[in-house]
Amino acid sequence: MKFKPLNPEKESVKFILPLFISLVITLFLFYIDEGFYNFKWMLNVGNWIAFLIYVAVIYGVQLLLTLPFFRFAPKFIITATKFILIILIVLFLSFIVFR
């Protein structure tokens, strides 16, 4: 029986699903903590910086927890780190430009 490598669509799920989960968790935490059960916290740039830090930490922890279970190649870690940094830079710059 031959081993079939994952196709690119399934490879991207490794990045997108944990990112989506970390965004949802962080939005919920900021909804109940920073915004006092509303989304007014979005009006403050300082809260967005904290939001991005929380997302990056939760996303990074999720990726690190998957390593022992799935034994991804070191190339995956480098790609995931670049992906996190690119998303954080784009979000940060978009919030500066569109505030």
CA distances from 41 to 31, 38, 46, 97 (A): 8, 8, 9, 18
Average pLDDT over residues 60-75: 71
pLDDT tens track for 16-65: 888 898 998 899 888 888 878 888 888 888 898 899 999 999 998 888 87
User: What is the distance between the alpha carbons of residues 40 and 57, in angstroms, rounded to a whole number?
Assistant: 23
Domain ranges of the chain: 12-97
pTM summary value: 0.61
